[in-house]
């Protein structure tokens, strides 16, 4: 699954709840990094990491993928 940078920015700036603990923990870490450096390159790095994670674990995250699809 891939997300656009606009979706990733919405994800990093919003308050969403996810069932997959590892995904939630990664988002908290990326939110802190993005808040320190809200540059386009930092957003792209966050986007790349989120997309890689989703590609790897998408089959185990059915409920969370449904939330992400609504972004």
Contact 68, 14 (CB under 8 A): no
The alpha helices in 14-61, defined as continuous H runs, are 21-36, 40-57
Residue 25 pLDDT greater than 90, yes or no = yes
Contact 71, 7 (CB under 8 A): yes
Q: What is d(CA 71, CA 43) in angstroms, rounded to the nearest whole number?
A: 16
Total number of domains in the chain: 1
Confidence class for position 70, pLDDT limits 50, 70, 90: confident
**Domain hosting residue 24, numbered range:** 5-69
Contact 50, 24 (CB under 8 A): no
Residue 60 pLDDT greater than 90, yes or no = no
If one compares 63 and 7, the residue with the highest pLDDT of the two is: 7
Query: Residue written as tokens 């919405």?
Result: 10
């Amino acid at each position: 699954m891939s997300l656009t940078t606009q979706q990733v920015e919405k994800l990093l700036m919003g308050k969403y709840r996810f069932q997959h603990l590892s995904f939630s923990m990664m988002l908290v870490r990326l939110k802190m990094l993005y808040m320190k450096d809200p540059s386009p390159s930092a957003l792209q790095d966050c986007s790349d990491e989120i997309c890689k994670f989703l590609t790897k674990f998408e089959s185990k995250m059915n409920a969370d993928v449904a939330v992400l699809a609504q972004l």
